[in-house]
A and B are shown apart, each in its own frame.
Chain A
Amino acid sequence: MALKRREFLKASAAAAAAASIGVTLMPGMEKTVFADSTTWHKSVCRFCGTGCGVMIGEKNGKVVSVKGDLENTINKGHLCVKGFYLHKVVYAKTRLLHPMIKKNGKWERVSWDEALDYVAKKFNEIRKQYGPDALAFYGSGQAETEETYMANKLFKGCIGTNNMEGNPRLCMASAVGGYLTSLGKDEPAGTYADIEKAELFLLVGSNTAESHPIIFERIMRHKNKNPDVKIVIIDPRKTPTDQVADLHLFPRPGWDLAILHAMARIIIKEGYADEEFIKNHVNFRDNEKALTFEEYKQFLEKYTPEYAAKVSGVSPDEIVKAARMFGQAKTAMSMWTMGLNQRTRGVWANNLVTNLHLLTGKIGVPGSDSFSLTGQPNACGGVREGGGLCHLLPAHRLVKNPKHRAEVAKVWGVPVENIQPKPGKHTIAMFTALNKGEIKGIYIMCTNPAQSLPNASKYWKGLKEQFVVVAESFFPTATTEYADVVLPAAFWAEKEGVYGCTERRSQYMEKVIDPQGEARWDAWILRDLAIRMGFKKEFEKYKTAEDIWNEYISLTKGTDMDLSGATYRRLKKVRGLTWPVPSEDHPGTYKRYTKGDPVFDALPEEKKKGRRMYFYGKPDGKAIVWARPDKGPEEPTDAEYPLALSTGRVLEHWHTRTMTGTVPELNRAVPKAYVEINPEDAKKMGIADKDQVIVETRRGKLKIEARVIDRPKPGTIFIPWHWEEWMANILTIDAFDPGSKEPEYKVCAARLRKA
Chain B
Amino acid sequence: MPIAGVVIYTQPQKSMEVLEQLKQIDNVTTYGVHKGNNIIAVFEGKTSRELEQLSDRISREVPGVLGIFPAYVNFELDEENAADTESDGN
Q: Residues of A with Cβ closer than 8 Å to B? A: 2, 5-6, 9-10, 12-23, 25, 57, 59, 63-68, 77-81, 83-88, 91-94, 213-214, 216-217, 220-221, 224-225, 243-244, 661-669, 671
Contacts and interface: CB of A to CB of B under 8 A. Distances in A.
A371 to B, nearest CB: 21
Contact of B72 (A12, A213, A664): A12
A13 B6 CA distance: 8
A752 B1 CA distance: 45
Contact of A14 (B42, B66, B80): B42
A94 B56 CA distance: 26
Contact of B3 (A9, A18, A93): A9
Interface in B18-34: 29, 31, 34
B18 to A, nearest CB: 14
Chain A at the B interface: mostly helix, strand, loop or mixed?
helix
Contacts of B56: 669
Nearest to A67: B72
B43 to A, nearest CB: 8
B48 A88 contact: yes
Contacts of B48: 84-85, 88, 663, 665
A25 B70 CA distance: 17
A669 B54 CA distance: 11
Contacts of B88: 92-94, 661-662, 664, 667
B37 A65 contact: no
Contact of B37 (A20, A88, A216, A224): A224
A87 B75 contact: yes
Q: Sort A-B residue pairs by CB-CB distance and give the 6 closest, nearest first.
A: A13-B5, A667-B89, A16-B72, A17-B5, A665-B49, A64-B76
A707 to B, nearest CB: 15
Contact of A16 (B5, B76, B81): B5
Contacts of A91: 81
A65 B42 contact: no
Contacts of B17: none
Contacts of B68: 81
Contacts of B53: 665, 669
A543 B7 CA distance: 43
B71 A84 contact: no
B5 A21 contact: no
Contacts of B38: 21, 23
B5 A671 contact: no
Nearest to A209: B67
A68 B66 contact: no
Contacts of A671: 89
Nearest to A59: B76
Nearest to B89: A667
Given A59-B76, A665-B52, A14 B90 contact: no
25 contacts: A6-B1, A9-B74, A13-B4, A13-B5, A19-B71, A20-B69, A21-B7, A21-B35, A23-B35, A64-B74, A64-B76, A78-B70, A79-B71, A81-B55, A88-B75, A88-B81, A91-B81, A92-B88, A93-B88, A220-B66, A224-B37, A662-B88, A665-B48, A665-B51, A665-B53
B47 A665 contact: yes
B70 A14 contact: no
A162 B60 CA distance: 49
Given A25-B40, A93-B88, 13 more contacts: A17-B42, A18-B34, A23-B34, A64-B76, A79-B69, A81-B52, A84-B70, A85-B52, A87-B75, A220-B9, A665-B51, A667-B89, A667-B90
A220 B67 contact: yes
Find the residue from A66, A84, A669 having the highest chain B CB count within 10 A: A84
Contacts of B1: 2, 6, 9
B34 to A, nearest CB: 5
Contacts of A12: 5, 72, 74
B6 to A, nearest CB: 6
B71 A217 contact: no
A244 B74 CA distance: 31
Contacts of A15: 5
Given A668-B89, A669-B52, A83 B3 contact: no
A224 B12 contact: yes
B44 A10 contact: yes
Nearest to A87: B75
Contacts of B61: none
A217 B9 contact: yes
A2 B77 CA distance: 9
Contacts of A88: 48, 75, 81
Given A57-B74, A78-B69, A84 B90 contact: no
B34 A10 contact: no
Contacts of B49: 664-665, 668
A87 B40 CA distance: 23
Contacts of A224: 11-12, 36-37, 66
Contacts of A16: 5, 71-72
B62 interface: no
Contacts of A663: 48
A77 to B, nearest CB: 5
Contact of B31 (A5, A25, A64, A66): A25
Contacts of B7: 17, 20-21, 78
A84 B72 contact: no
Contacts of A666: 52
A17 B72 contact: yes
Contact of A13 (B3, B12, B36, B55): B3
Contact of B73 (A5, A10, A83, A668): A83
A59 B77 CA distance: 12
A83 B86 CA distance: 20
Nearest to A68: B71
A68 B70 contact: yes
Given A91-B81, A224-B12, A17 B6 contact: yes
A671 B87 CA distance: 13
Contacts of A79: 69-71, 73
A80 B74 CA distance: 15
B3 A10 contact: yes
Contact of A664 (B2, B71, B77, B80): B80
Nearest to A22: B35
B69 A80 contact: yes
Given A9-B3, A17-B6, A217 B67 contact: yes
A13 B52 contact: no
Contacts of A68: 69-72
B31 to A, nearest CB: 5
Contact of B40 (A23, A67, A84): A23
Contacts of B2: 84
Nearest to A661: B90
A83 B6 CA distance: 11
A63 B89 CA distance: 22
A246 B86 CA distance: 44
A79 B55 CA distance: 13
A29 B76 CA distance: 22
Contacts of B35: 21-23
A24 to B, nearest CB: 10
A246 B90 CA distance: 40
Nearest to B80: A664
Nearest to A65: B74
B70 A65 contact: no
B75 A64 contact: yes
B77 A221 contact: no
